[in-house]
Chains A and B, each alone.
Chain A
Amino acid sequence: MTMERGGASGFVGSHPTGIGRRRFLAATGAVGMGALAGCPGLNGGGDGTDGLPGELDIADFRGSGRIVEGRPAPGGTSITELPDLEGELTFYLSFGEGGLYLDLIDLFADYYPNFEYGHTQQSATGLANRIVNEVDAGASQADVFIAVDAGSLSAVAKAGAARTLPDDVLEPVPARLRTDQWVGIAGRARAVPYNAEQLDASDVPASVQEFPDVAAFQDDFGWAPTYSAFQSFVTAMRLLRGREETKSWLEGMLDAGVGTFGNEFLVSNAAANGEIAAGFANHYYALRVRNQRPNAPVELAFTSGDAGALINVSGAAIVEGTDDPELAENFVRHLLSAEAQEFFATRTFAYPTVPDVEPVGDLPTIDELNPPDVDLSALADVTPTLELLRETDVLG
C-alpha cells in the first residue's frame, strides 16, 4: 500500500506524480482508516529522523476516541494532489477555534519542510478592524485571515481589504458557504442541546418561534447573548422575520425565564448537567462535552428552515497587499483538502464545508439540515441587532 508522497514513484520534495495521486485515492477509497494508521505515511521528504515530522498520514489529521471509530476515508482532494507549500505566510487567526487551527497549520509546517509561518490570535472582529486599518494605510501584516465567523470575513471584504479568490479554490464549497472574497472552511450549525433525561427530541419544536411557549422550557432554558454566534442568530432572525417579530420573540424568551450564560460551551455543559433542560448553542459544544464525558446525557436537536437552523462558517480570506498571493491561495486550497476537512470534522466537530467529507458521529449532514435562506455576508450587520438586544434588556 502506498501512501508515500514521492517514495514509491521516486519523487521527493516536489509535486507528486499522477501515479502517487491515484494510488493514494485508490488506497483510501478501498480500506478503512484503521488499517491505514500503521502505514508509513505521506512522506514529505522531511528530515527522515523518527517518523514525524515529515511523515504524516490521515490519522495525524484525525481526532481520537469513539467519535472517529469506523469512519470512512474522507473524500475530496488530498494534499498530495496539491502543489507544495513553499515560502512564508503570516496568519491572523481568530480566537475560539484559533488554538485548534494552529495545530492544523503546524501539521502542514511539519509536512512541508520549506513552509514557515507567523501568526497572531485575537477576536475575529478585533482582527477584522485591524486588517481594515492596515490595508487602508498600505501596511498589511497578514497574508491570510482565518476567522470563526462569516461576519468578520465579510466586514473585511466589504472594506475592500480582501482579494478575490480564484474559482478553482472556491469551487469545492457550496455557493451558500462562500463569497468571491472568502470561503467557508468549517461549518457551525445553530442547534439546541438538550438534556436527554429531561426531554425527548420530540419535545423540541421544529420552529424556533415556538420556543417561548414550550412548557418544558419555562425557567429551564439557557442562552449566551454576549456570544457572537448567538448575535448572528438574532441577526438572521431579524433578516428573516423582521425587527418587531424578533423583538417580541426575545421578550417572550425573557418572559419564559431564560437563563444567561457567559458562552455556549457553558450552555451545553449546563444542559448536560441538567441545570437547564435545553439551550441555544453552536452544535459542536455538546459534542465536546460528550467527547469529554461519554455518558453525559446531552443530545442535539435542530430546528428547520428558520434562524434557529442557521449554518455559519469559519472561513478564510486572503488579505489585500499580501506578498505572495499564490502561496496564500495554495494554502486556502490546503484548508479545503480532504485531510484538513477531516481535521475540522473530527477535531473541532465542525461541519466540513466540502460535501465529500462526512460530519462526525450521528450529526445530520448539511443536506439533511434545512438551513434558512440567509446571505452569510449580511450577518456583519450587527449594529441593529445590538440595539435590539439592548432595547429588550437581553444583555442585562
Chain B
Amino acid sequence: MATPEDFDRLTRGERVRESLPSVLTLVALGLALLLLAPVAWVLLEALQVEQARALEILTSPDTLQVVLNSLVLTAGVTAGSILLGVPLAILTAQTTLPGRRVWTVIVALPLVIPSYIGAFAFVSAFGPRGVLQGLLAPVGIAELPAIYGLAGTVLVLTLFSYPYVFLTTRASLLSVDATVLEAARTLNHDRLAAFRRVILPQIKPGVAAGALLVALYTLSDFGTPRIMQYRVFTVMIFEETQAFNVGFAALLSLVLLGLTVVILAWESRINASREGAHVAGGGERPGRIALGRWRWPALGSVAGVAVLALVVPLGILVMWLFRPSPGSGGLAFELGYAVNSLWVAGVAALFAVLLGLPIAYLSARSRSRLGSLPERSTYVGYAMPGVVLGLAMIVLGIRFVPALYGTVTLLLFAYVVRFIPQAVGIMESSILQVDPAHVEAARTMGDSSLVSFLRVTLPQIFPGVAAGGALVFLTTMKELPATLLLRPIDFETLVTYIWIVQDGAAYGKAAVPALVLVGVSAMSMVVILSRERYNGTE
C-alpha cells in the first residue's frame, strides 16, 4: 500500500526526470559507446575465427571445464567476500567493538595490495616448502599440503577483494534510518530480528554493489589464478595469446563478457529496490549493538583477518628485502617509476570522475531503462581481462588514432575503461542521497539545470566524487596486464618494475617498490573512508 511519503517521492522523482535535459542522456550514451570501443574489437576479432573452428573451441570439454572453473571461483570469492565483508562492516559500523575506527581503516586496507603480490606472498608463506614449513621443520613437518588450486585461489582473491563489499556495505549501514529500526523494535522484535527485518533489506543493494565489483574483478583477474595454479578463463585466454591465436583469445573473451552481462542483470534485479529512491542520508543513527562478552571473540576475528590479509603479505615483502634472492641484475629501481605510477593513476582518476559524472547522474535520476544503460555498460570494461583490453587498444590505437599510439594517452584511456564503474557506483549513490527537492528549489529560482547541479548537487556529492576518484586511483596504481601492454617506450611504473624483477627471480628488488605502492595507495583509502564524515556519522 502506498504511503503518502511514497507518493511524495514518486512525484518528486517524476518532476526531476522531466527536467533531465536530453543533452545529458546523449552525452552519457556517447561516453558509454566510447568506453565500449574495445568490445567492438573483441567482436570483430572473434568473428574472424572460422565458424566450425569457433564452435569446436566453444564446445570442447576443456572450454566447458574452464567455464565451470571460472563460475565456481567467482561464486566462491563472491560468497567469501560477503561472509567476510558484511560482518566486518557491521562490527565496525554498528557495534561497540573496541577501537572500531582504527579497525575500519585496517580491514579496508587489503584492497591496496595487488592480489598477484598477495598470491606470491601466500605461496612463499604457506607453500609446501614455505616460511611456515620452515618454522615447523623442527617439529618434523617436511612439507605442507599444497595451497594451490581452487581453495587457495578463493582464499587469496577473497582476502584482497572483500574490502569492496566491506566499503559498500558500510556506506549503506551508515545511511540506515534509525527511526525505522526503532519502529521495528516497538513492534516487539528483538535486536537480531529487527536487524534482519529492517536493516538487512536496506543494506542489500549496498552488499550487492560490492559483490558485483568482487565478482567481475574475479572473472577478469589473471595473475592470482595463474600463480595459484587454477585454470580459469583468463588463463586460457592467455594461453591462446601465447600461441599467437588472438582470434581464439577474442572468442573466449566474448564468452567471458557474456558471463559478465548475466552477472550484471542479476545484480540489477537485487538493486532494483533502490531505483528512483532518494536514500535518506544523515538521518538519525541507530544505536550500537553492545557486544558484551562477545567483544573478545569479535576482536579476535577482526584481528585474524588483518593478520592474513595485511601482516602476511607485508611481512613477506619485508622478508624479501633482507633475504638474498636467486636472481639479480637488470633494471635498477628509480624514483621516477613511482612518480609515473602516481601521475597516471591521478590523471586516470580525474578522467574517470569527469566522464563518470554524467553517467552516474543520469542513472541516479532517471527511471527509464535507457537511463541506467550507460551505467550498466561501464561494467563491461571492468570485467574485460587486462590482456584483452590491452590487445584491443593496441589494434584500435594503430588503426584509428595512430598519433596517440605508443603514448600514455592510450594507457590512460584503458584505465578509464577498466575502472570507471567504481567511480560511477560511488558517485551514483551520493547523488541518490541528495534530496531532489533541493535541486527543484534551485530550478524554480531560475537556475539552469547545469547551474543548479553545480550550486546544489556538486557540493553535496563532492565527498562521493573524491571517494570514487580515490578508488579508481588505487586500482589504477596496481593494474598490471594492460599497463604492461600499453606503456610507452622507456616508461616504467611501480607495478611493471615489480613484475620485471620478480620475473627474473630478483624478489629483493621487488620489495621496496611494492611497499611504496601499498603505502601510497593506503593514503587514498583515507580519502575513501573520510567521505563518511560528510554523511553525518561518527
Contact = CB atoms under 8 A, between A and B. Distances in A.
Interface of A: 90, 95-100, 102-103, 118-123, 125-126, 128-130, 133-134, 137, 139, 141, 155, 226, 228, 231, 260, 262, 265, 269-270, 273, 275, 288-289, 292, 347, 380, 382-383, 385-386, 390-391, 395-396
A347 B329 contact: yes
B188 interface: no
B87 interface: no
27 contacts: A90-B489, A98-B500, A100-B504, A102-B331, A118-B489, A118-B490, A119-B489, A120-B487, A123-B242, A125-B244, A126-B485, A129-B391, A130-B394, A226-B239, A228-B242, A262-B227, A273-B129, A288-B326, A292-B326, A347-B329, A382-B242, A382-B244, A383-B243, A386-B243, A390-B60, A395-B239, A396-B229
A31 B395 CA distance: 55
Contacts of B415: none
Contacts, number: 112
Contact of A391 (B62, B245, B500): B62
B216 interface: no
A133 B240 CA distance: 17
B505 interface: yes
B330 A139 contact: no
A126 B230 CA distance: 22
A380 B244 CA distance: 9
B203 interface: no
B287 interface: no
A155 B244 contact: yes
Contacts of B230: 396
A119 B245 CA distance: 25
Chain B interface residue number, banded:
35 or more
B255 to A, nearest CB: 16
Contact of B398 (A137, A347, A395): A137
A90 B489 CA distance: 8
B364 interface: no
Interface in B181-229: 226-227, 229
A122 B239 contact: no
Nearest to A395: B231
A245 to B, nearest CB: 21
Interface of B: 60, 62, 128-129, 143, 148, 226-227, 229-231, 239-246, 324, 326-327, 329-331, 391, 394-395, 398-399, 402, 405-406, 484-485, 487-491, 496, 500-501, 503-506
Given A90-B489, A129-B241, A382-B243, A99 B402 contact: no
Given A265-B505, A288-B326, A139 B242 contact: no
A122 B143 CA distance: 35
B326 A265 contact: yes
Contacts of A385: 243
Given A99-B506, A121-B500, 9 more contacts: A103-B329, A118-B490, A119-B489, A134-B398, A137-B398, A262-B226, A288-B505, A347-B329, A396-B231
Contacts of A269: 326
A390 B245 CA distance: 15
Given A96-B504, A99-B500, A141-B406, A383 B489 contact: no
Contact of B394 (A133, A231, A383, A390): A133
A228 B327 CA distance: 19
A315 B488 CA distance: 23
Nearest to A122: B484
A90 B496 CA distance: 18
B244 A275 contact: no
A100 B128 contact: no
A350 B490 CA distance: 26
A128 B391 CA distance: 12
A134 B397 CA distance: 10
B503 to A, nearest CB: 5
A260 B148 CA distance: 10
Nearest to A391: B62
A126 B484 CA distance: 10
